[in-house]
Each structure stands twice: as C-alpha cells, then as structure tokens.
Chain A
C-alpha cells in the first residue's frame, strides 16, 4: 500500500472551496449558507469519529461491539429516512417501517456476502463487515426515502381517487396499484442509473478509493461490481418492503384510508 498521506493542512486547503460556495450562496439568496457549513463540519467530525472507531474495532474489538456499531448505523439510517419525508407518519411509524425494511434486506445480504462470497475468517471481520454494511445501508436508505416520500406524497394528493376506487369495490391493494408501482420505481431509479453510468460517466467512490490506496485496478473493479449488485438489489428489496408496509399502514382493517395518520 503506497498511498500518499494527507495532512490536516491539505484538508484545510480543500475546505476553502466549500467556504467559497457558502459565501457565493449569500448574494444568490439561496439561504443555505448555514446548512453548507454545518454539513461540511458534520462530515468532518462524523468521519473522523468513525475513523477512530474503526481503528479501534479493527485492532481490538470483539463481535459484540461490531454488532453495536451495526445497530447504531441502522438506527441512524432509519432516522434519516423519516427525516427526509415531506409528509410523515405520526409517531414512530415512519422510523419503524424504514428501519425494519432496511434491517430485513441489508443485514441478510451482508451476512450472505461475508459468509458465502468473501468467506472470510471470522466472517464478521470488521474490515469487511462494516464498510459493506455502510455502503448497503447508505444506498438502501436513499431508495427507501425516495420511495416512501413518493408514496406518501401521491396518496395525499390522490386521496379522492383512492377513495373513489374503494367506493367502486376495489381492495386497498388494487386502489394503490399505480402509486405503489411508481413509488418503487422512483426508489430504484438512482441505483439503476448509477449502474448504467458506472465506468463510462462516473468512477464509483469505493473503487476510486481502492485504486488511490494502491489496489490493482482489476481487483478494485471486482469489488465494485460486487458492491453494485448488492446495493442494486438491496435498495430494491428495501424499497419494496418499505412501500408495501407503508401502504398497508395507511388503511385500517375495513380498508378505509386514514390520512390523519400522516402529518
């Protein structure tokens, strides 16, 4: 591994571009200067923290701590999903459905990859497990957020259509056919687009990182393809689960639409 180490000064230098963007947003009245600065600071602090945690995990921590970190990542992804909705479920339903959907899809897929595909000893070795889970969760989170947001937005807008369809004797499942299809599609589009553009428009971040760190390009490519397959299918399954569970929550046992369950 012959990576050129970066110094704090190097990062400070690059941060000037972010500061310049924040300054430029002021005369343009974008009203996001604060958010840009906060996001940049959060990225720095959060990544530094996870850097220290990973360093410690890789050297000395047992499987219990790996599980704790995994659950922490999952809960944060769930919080992010419910934060990104314009229309939200009241109470903890949005968080719960998002978290459950991501748990049911991401965790089995990561465990399968670690035990069967990579076949590492022990299978939970954090150097593989944590980055894989992070990438899968991050992408599934995007798909779930988009699909969920589209579902709740469309149901809110089309409530009269949905109720008219119920009045005509359609089941709740039939009355949501088009909305469900469109919501799942919108959750899947980013990953499909990413797979389409990979290599000809964009070099995926993970592969770039591996190459920068000195891996042979073909090894990096193989890992990237594995990741693409995982995040493509993972975010697809996660989105399908979240949209299906969310759609069910909008109706009661007599198949009545309950929009007061949203804010």
Chain B
C-alpha cells in the first residue's frame, strides 16, 4: 500500500497530476517559480480546493476531518508564521531534548521571545513544531532555502532520521540540484502544467 497516492489531481489551472510516494520514500520536486510547486503542496494538504483523488495509506482525504488530514499530511510552508509572544506557546507540552539538540538549540529556547529569532532559527523551530504532530507524509516547501550549509545539513539529517524511524513519505521541493542528489530517490520537474519524471532514482 503506497503511503501517498495522487490520482488526477487538478488545482487552480494545474494538472491533472498522478503521483505515488511509497512508505519511507523521498521524492524531490523542482520547477521555476510560478510553476505551481507550492500550490501543489497546498492542494495535497487540503489547504486549497482541488479535484481528483488524494489518498493516505489507501484512504481518501475526505474520510478524515480536515485538521486530522493536515496533521497526517503535513505541509511546511516556505515562510513560517509565529503568533504568540514566546516560542514555547507554539508547542504542545514539552519537546524531546534530543530533537532540540539535533537542531542546535538548548532547553531555554522555549522561553525565547519570537522577536529575537533569526529567520534560520524560525525555520528550524517550525520544523520541530511540525514534527510534533507525528505526520505520516511530509510536504516540504524549500525547507533549507534560508539556512547556512551547516544548518541545512542538520535539517536534512533530522528529516531523514524521522523518516527512517516512522517510514514517512516525503515530497521535498528544492532548487538545489546537489540537495536533490543527496536526498536520492526520484526527482520530478513541474513545468508548463506538466509533472515530469527527470530522475528515476535507484529504487522505483
């Protein structure tokens, strides 16, 4: 049973697209800006209206309530938002120390004020916040675009460790050709309303 199945997906004026991502598989996606990458992720997370079928473990999107679906099929937007005063208010309960350490934070970060966070810190915290929901599918919109090489590496490792542990399917939007290669697996390009397989990866 594939983790994520997309059949005849149409959103805005894009599609129809078909895509299957297996358990534990990473698929990377590139395309020029405005080609519909971010909108594809939004449609998959059911944030935007769409036609066609999206299934998780063979079950239709509609068989879950929208919040339940979004917790399982989790979208990390290119720019994270913060609405409370401190970091900790955005997290439910406490976070495992090793997760914080893996992202280069100490335990005090939860009491930090949002205003003092750099864009890189915001991004790394947004990732931890998203993983708290224990998603089954990750939709990542250029998660390392604002990060230096060291932190990009941290983020990649964190996602791959999480995937290794939980068998998560990952759809990873990246402009970085090297990153696409490091991630391995299939690579798609979205262009002129078409979704083309450009690298078929080691395992299909």
Q: Collect the chain A residues with CB atoms within 8 Å of residue B65's CB.
A: 255
Leading 6 A-B pairs by shortest Cβ distance: A169-B71, A164-B81, A255-B66, A161-B81, A254-B66, A169-B67
Q: Closest CB of chain A to B124's CB: distance in Å?
A: 16
- With CB as the reference atom, state the residue of chain B lying closest to A251: B66
Q: Collect the chain B residues with CB atoms within 8 Å of residue A166's CB.
A: 47, 66-67, 70
In the complex, whether A178 has a CB less than 8 A from a CB of chain B is yes
Instruction: Kindly identify which residue among A160, A170, A178, A254 contacts B79, using a CB–CB cutoff of 8 Å.
Output: A160
Contact (Cβ within 8 A) B133 A169: yes
Determine the distance from Cα of A254 to Cα of B45 in the docked complex, in whole angstroms: 11
In the complex, whether A256 has a CB less than 8 A from a CB of chain B is yes
Contact (Cβ within 8 A) B70 A178: no
Contact (Cβ within 8 A) A256 B48: yes
| Chain B residues with a Cβ under 8 A of chain A | 45-49, 65-68, 70-71, 74-77, 79-81, 83, 129-130, 133
Contact (Cβ within 8 A) A168 B130: yes
Q: A163-B47, A252-B49, A254-B46 are in contact. Are A169 and B81 (CB under 8 A)?
A: no
Q: Collect the chain A residues with CB atoms within 8 Å of residue B45's CB.
A: 167
Contact (Cβ within 8 A) A167 B49: no
- With CB as the reference atom, state the residue of chain B lying closest to A178: B83
- With CB as the reference atom, state the residue of chain B lying closest to A174: B67
- With CB as the reference atom, state the residue of chain A lying closest to B66: A255
The contact sample of 26 A-B pairs, CB cut-off 8 A, is A160-B77, A161-B83, A163-B47, A165-B81, A165-B83, A166-B47, A166-B66, A167-B47, A167-B70, A167-B74, A167-B75, A168-B70, A168-B71, A168-B74, A168-B129, A168-B130, A168-B133, A169-B67, A169-B71, A170-B67, A171-B67, A254-B46, A255-B65, A255-B66, A256-B66, A257-B47
Q: Closest CB of chain A to B54's CB: distance in Å?
A: 12
Contact (Cβ within 8 A) B68 A169: yes
- With CB as the reference atom, state the residue of chain A lying closest to B74: A167
Instruction: Kindly identify which residue among B49, B74, B80, B130 contacts A256, using a CB–CB cutoff of 8 Å.
Output: B49
Given contacts A160-B79, A165-B83, 11 further A-B contacts (CB under 8 A): A161-B81, A163-B47, A163-B77, A164-B80, A164-B81, A165-B81, A166-B70, A167-B76, A168-B74, A168-B129, A257-B47
8 Å CB interface, A152-208 against B? 158, 160-161, 163-171, 178
- With CB as the reference atom, state the residue of chain B lying closest to A255: B66
On chain A, which size bracket covers the interface?
Answer: 10 to 19
Q: A169-B67, A171-B67, A178-B83 are in contact. Are A164 and B49 (CB under 8 A)?
A: no
Determine the distance from Cα of A178 to Cα of B89 in the docked complex, in whole angstroms: 13
Determine the distance from Cα of A158 to Cα of B81 in the docked complex, in whole angstroms: 10
Q: Closest CB of chain A to B79's CB: distance in Å?
A: 7
- With CB as the reference atom, state the residue of chain A lying closest to B62: A254
Determine the distance from Cα of A177 to Cα of B70 in the docked complex, in whole angstroms: 19
- With CB as the reference atom, state the residue of chain B lying closest to A177: B83
Q: Collect the chain A residues with CB atoms within 8 Å of residue B80's CB.
A: 164
Determine the distance from Cα of A254 to Cα of B46 in the docked complex, in whole angstroms: 8
Q: Collect the chain B residues with CB atoms within 8 Å of residue A163's CB.
A: 47, 77
Annotate A130-166 by CB proximity to B: 1 below 8 A, 0 otherwise. Answer: 0000000000000000000000000000101101111
Determine the distance from Cα of A158 to Cα of B83 in the docked complex, in whole angstroms: 9
Q: A178-B83, A254-B46, A256-B46 are in contact. Are A167 and B77 (CB under 8 A)?
A: yes
Determine the distance from Cα of A12 to Cα of B47 in the docked complex, in whole angstroms: 60
Determine the distance from Cα of A164 to Cα of B82 in the docked complex, in whole angstroms: 9
Determine the distance from Cα of A252 to Cα of B71 in the docked complex, in whole angstroms: 18
Q: Closest CB of chain B to A256's CB: distance in Å?
A: 6
Determine the distance from Cα of A180 to Cα of B81 in the docked complex, in whole angstroms: 19
Q: Collect the chain A residues with CB atoms within 8 Å of residue B66's CB.
A: 166, 254-256
Q: Collect the chain A residues with CB atoms within 8 Å of residue B47's CB.
A: 163, 166-167, 256-257
Q: Collect the chain A residues with CB atoms within 8 Å of residue B79's CB.
A: 160
Instruction: Kindly identify which residue among B46, B81, B129 contacts A160, using a CB–CB cutoff of 8 Å.
Output: B81
Q: Closest CB of chain A to B125's CB: distance in Å?
A: 12
Determine the distance from Cα of A243 to Cα of B79 in the docked complex, in whole angstroms: 29
- With CB as the reference atom, state the residue of chain B lying closest to A252: B49
Determine the distance from Cα of A247 to Cα of B81 in the docked complex, in whole angstroms: 20
Contact (Cβ within 8 A) B77 A164: yes
Determine the distance from Cα of A220 to Cα of B197 in the docked complex, in whole angstroms: 81
- With CB as the reference atom, state the residue of chain B lying closest to A158: B83
Q: Closest CB of chain B to A163's CB: distance in Å?
A: 6
